[in-house]
Structure 1
Amino acid sequence: CGSLGYSFWAINKVPWPGDTPDPTAPLAELKLGRSYVIDMENLTPQSHPIHLHGMSFKVLSSSTRRVQPLVSDTYLIQPDEKVQLGFVADNPGDWLLHCHIIEHQKSGMTSYIRVA
């Protein structure tokens, strides 16, 4: 939103709390104990440190670089990079998923996943 002098950010093209029938609905509802892969793509010219609360993931692949098989809760996704993050939904609850740059998080690049 250049006319206001700042940008709005989004996850799945929806800023938090987005224009949806239920703006507080989770991004995904996951089954406790099951394995999942999150496909993420950064379509912006900025890097985004993506952080998942409550669980850890392993970076499975990147479209731009070789990845180390490290377990973490944060990944710095580069501009035009596609990544796959694998994890087990082993912690029940509502868990924040967001960009760790506070200006990006506060202006919409925030959501959460539900594990039940």
Structure 2
Amino acid sequence: MDQDITAILFDIRLDDTGQFDMEFDRADFITAGRLGNLMTTFLSSEQARLGDHIRLRLINPTPDRIFEIRIDGLTGFCVAYDGMPLPELVSLGNLKLAPAQRIDIIADVTGDVILRETVPSGGEELGGIMLNGQRQIRSAPIAPLPANLVPAPGEITQTADLFMQGGAGDGAHGGFGGWAFNDVSGLPNKPLISARRDEAVQVRMVNDTAFPHGIHLHGHHFWETDQNGARTHLRDTTLVAPGETMTIVCVLDNPGAWMLHCHMLSHQADGMATWMQVS
């Protein structure tokens, strides 16, 4: 590997004078979140040689922005989601990252590496890694990363439903905030699931709202599942589109009280949070 480069996606709201805008509007909480008017990328390296074999680690730490990224100048594959290696390589296309999500890429540099946000502007440049020199082009194929040691789920011992409620245009719910899980805004007194260590549990997440939500579980990774119930990607944050249902399976192998919340932090602050207890 010639370089290991971190790309931190950033979303900033500036006022008319070009200073950080610290004001909040009520609409920020009950719509898509507090979105900025300037998107950029902080890169740990901004130069590479033509032919360099690199690992590019995309990170979305923004409060609310969902990025949809296209990367020019690379030939390669996605090799990991949220720090968990993929069993099969995933081709590079438009890459969607909700807040807290990460994507690792292994690729060869074929030109200036330009990161572009495809929505809503259709190609706004976020940053780039410029060519400086050249090396011999590699011929070896890219292989998947070794798998991390994670416990495979056995029999599902508990199931729970997580209904996402609230936001602009949604009907009333039982919580006090603009958002709620299962008619509760903020952390409830009782956990969504109380389990013993190493139990395998299933949570059906139902997005009945008009907005997407990136649901993040602390202390664990979980499997997303497809429409047939088959396990797919191992992640700690899943993006659930409006009207979509996502079922996850998790082995709760880490004792503690673990928050499960929307990582659009404006949504979390206004109600979208619950927790799991592992003893």
Contact 1:62 1:81 in 2 (8 A): no
Pick closer, same or farther for the CA change 1:62–1:16 going to 2, 3 Å.
farther
- The letter of the residue matching 2:215 is I
Aligned equivalents of 1:85 and 1:13: distance in 2?
A: 21
- SS in structure 1 opposite 2:268? helix
Counterpart selection for 1:103 from 245, 251, 266: 266
Give the aligned length: 105
Q: Aligned residue for 1:36?
A: 201
Contact 1:49 1:76 in 2 (8 A): yes
1:58-101, CA deviations, whole angstroms, 9 ceiling, x for partnerless residues? 111359xxx98211100000000011100101000000100001
Contact 1:62 1:82 in 2 (8 A): no
Larger radius of gyration: 2
Question: Is 1:16 aligned with 2:195?
Answer: no
Question: Is 1:87 aligned with 2:239?
Answer: no
Which runs of at least 4 in structure 1 moved beyond 6 Å after TM superposition?
Answer: none
Q: Mark the runs of 5 or more structure 2 residues left unpaired by the alignment.
A: 1-25, 31-177
Contact 2:226 2:232 in 1 (8 A): no
Deviation at 1:24, TM superposition (A): 3.0
Pick closer, same or farther for the CA change 1:82–1:73 going to 2, 3 Å.
same
Identity of aligned residues (%): 35
- The letter of the residue matching 2:242 is P
- The letter of the residue matching 1:82 is T
Aligned equivalents of 2:231 and 2:223: distance in 1?
A: 9
Higher RCO by CA contacts (8 Å cutoff, separation 6 or greater): 1
Aligned equivalents of 2:248 and 2:189: distance in 1?
A: 24
More strand by share: 2
TM-score (norm 2): 0.35
TM-score (norm 1): 0.81
Aligned equivalents of 1:16 and 1:61: distance in 2?
A: 29
Q: Mark the runs of 5 or more structure 1 residues left unpaired by the alignment.
A: 18-22
Question: Is 1:49 aligned with 2:190?
Answer: no
